[in-house]
Structure 1
Amino acid sequence: MITRKKAGKILYHVIVCSLGLVMIYPLFWMFMSSFKESNTIFLTAGRLIPEKFVFTNYLNGWKGFAKISFAVFFKNSFLIAVTATLGTVFSSALVAYGLARCRFFGRKILFAAMLVSMMLPAQVLMIPQYLWYQKLGWVGSYKPLILPYCFAIQGFFVYLMINFIDGIPRELDEAAKIDGCSYYSIFSRIIMPLITPALITASIFSFMWRWDDFLSALLYINESAKYPVSLALKLFSDPGSSSDYGAMFAMASLSILPAVIIFICLQKYLVEGISTSGLKG
């Protein structure tokens, strides 16, 4: 029996490690290819480790295009991702608190509408949103990439936070009301600190989605100086002439560092936010 258990554990770890290697191999190949000369990347695609490590790809890629360095693109991405994430998390927490704690007419209808919005493909809204933002004069600015996420409901985050808030004893709210706290004071002093795992989980997902958002930037940004990293990377590929794949892979490798660092630093909160709902007993 003990031998079977050990064999099962070994088989389990072998399968998991194999699947993990398959998933991480493309990223590792991209990272190692960033140290190859551009004209030899696809000629030696089957060779993972380059014969000679070349660091000029990072220097050439960081120079950017038309006197616009990649530092500008990174700054633009951080501006969009951080601002949209802060607005998304705060507005989602506020809506979740209202749906979970406040009793008002139409609450169930709004909750059902929120769930329906989670099932609606984003492509369905693409054309109406573009026409709307165009009439508002937002096209060509960061407003379509930031403001809708600050004031529109993000169903997944709201649903996540509602589950956490439902696990908080209502006696805490009642005790705070006796002490003279308003709904806003209860939200800021009691609810927000107790749903920290959910807030961090939503922040991680929101930052990664906004950081990697290519389609929205392609639709609404029309100036190279305003490009985020996700959109600037495509400038290395020119179908009409030669493409600098070495510089592209180098900058792509740098572009995933913020998401990786955030995930590593906040991993325990992410796991807790997904696997638990509310307070632990």
Structure 2
Amino acid sequence: MAHTSKRWKPFVYHLLVGGLALVMIYPILWLFASSLKPNDEIFATAYSLIPSRIEWKNYATGWAGFAGNSFDTFFKNSFFIAILSTIGAVISSALVAYGFSRIRFFGRGFWFACMMMTLMLPRDVTIIPQYIMFSKFGWLSSFKPIIVPQFFGIPFFIFLIMQFIRTVPVDLDEAAKIDGCSKYGIFFRVILPLTLPALVTAAIFSFYWTWEDFYHPLLYLNKPELYPVSLALKLFLDGESLNNWGGMFAMSSLSLVPVFIIFFLFQRYIVEGIATSGLKG
């Protein structure tokens, strides 16, 4: 009896896990299936994942875009914003994290507390002062309000990288200092290579958050030729005419491709970076 129970437990476990996985992945499957359905069939057979006929033209009509701007332009804008923002966020956050972790200076605890307090501020509290400031700079209707702030450090990434740096033995810093390395030399030659998992994790999160960001482009970008994919998808919905659901779902499906590729290529770094395993010693 006990032997039979042991055989059933793995089966029940995998059945439950598989069921939960199906529930979680179903919306994505529905999105891809709807991108291949005729426009009038998408919501008529909402629960079905099998189209009556495959409409590849949804991808063609969706890619054509709007007002002379194809989704080629929108994807280029998204990659430009996401890549530059990610580079700025990771480099600046790593520098600040190194300063807080390894360099002793007056008021370090105070400034670290101030940085951590910014994590508790709702976005709505800061968005109006930021908008006024960027308006005074003349940066509206450009990528600058979205990209430039990323070059001044992201508190979450700073804290994440700090936790990883603290697992690196200080003895390595001392050895590098004896060999003639300056503080910057220690950072680039010792700290950066050993904190690679945390840096890659921060880069992945930064890319994801920037790629899917809808709020900031909606606020700062006023020209369709500057829209990223997240904002361009909204143009498929027109309250005064027929909505192009097929084209929107087709382009939404394509917008997930970079996210999936990055996740499958770098997923091991996400686990290592969050776990902050680092060096033992």
With normalisation by structure 1, the TM-score equals: 0.96
The 1:18/1:171 distance shift into structure 2, 3 A limit, reads: same
Say whether 1:28 aligns with 2:29: yes
Partner residue in 2 for 1:227: 227
Kindly provide the CA deviation profile for residues 177-206 of structure 1, in whole angstroms up to 9, marking residues without a partner as x.
111110001100110000000000000000
Counterpart residue type for residue 262 of structure 1: I
Unaligned segments of structure 1, at least 5 residues: none
C-alpha displacement of 1:248:
0.2
Number of residues paired by the alignment? 280
C-alpha displacement of 1:34:
0.5
Distance 1:170 1:6 in 2: 50
Equivalent positions of 1:197-276 (< 5 A) are 197-276=197-276
C-alpha displacement of 1:6:
4.2
Partner residue in 1 for 2:192: 192
**Quick check: 14-23 or 200-209, which moved more?**
14-23
Distance 1:237 1:17 in 2: 35
Counterpart residue type for residue 213 of structure 1: D
Equivalent positions of 1:4-23 (< 5 A) are 4-23=5-24
C-alpha displacement of 1:271:
1.1
C-alpha displacement of 1:73:
0.2
Counterpart residue type for residue 184 of structure 1: Y
Distance 2:196 2:51 in 1: 44
- Check conservation: 2:167, 2:276, Cα contact below 8 A: no
Distance 2:29 2:146 in 1: 30
Partner residue in 2 for 1:45: 46
Kindly provide the CA deviation profile for residues 64-111 of structure 1, in whole angstroms up to 9, marking residues without a partner as x.
111111000000000000000000000000000000000111111111
- Check conservation: 2:198, 2:276, Cα contact below 8 A: no
Which stretches of structure 1, 4 residues or longer, exceed 6 Å deviation after superposition?
A: none
The 1:4/1:266 distance shift into structure 2, 3 A limit, reads: same
Indicate the SS of the match to 2:119: helix
- Check conservation: 1:89, 1:199, Cα contact below 8 A: yes
Indicate the SS of the match to 1:239: coil
Partner residue in 2 for 1:169: 169
Unaligned segments of structure 2, at least 5 residues: none
Partner residue in 2 for 1:118: 119
Partner residue in 1 for 2:85: 84
C-alpha displacement of 1:13:
2.3
Distance 1:2 1:210 in 2: 52
Counterpart residue type for residue 266 of structure 2: L
Distance 2:277 2:115 in 1: 19
C-alpha displacement of 1:5:
4.4
C-alpha displacement of 1:280:
4.2
Equivalent positions of 1:139-158 (< 5 A) are 139-151=140-152, 153-158=153-158
C-alpha displacement of 1:46:
2.4
Partner residue in 2 for 1:105: 106
The 1:158/1:37 distance shift into structure 2, 3 A limit, reads: same
C-alpha displacement of 1:150:
1.1
**Quick check: 54-63 or 43-52, which moved more?**
43-52
Distance 2:231 2:96 in 1: 32
C-alpha displacement of 1:16:
2.0
C-alpha displacement of 1:43:
1.2
Kindly provide the CA deviation profile for residues 193-222 of structure 1, in whole angstroms up to 9, marking residues without a partner as x.
000000000000000000000000000000
Distance 1:65 1:23 in 2: 33
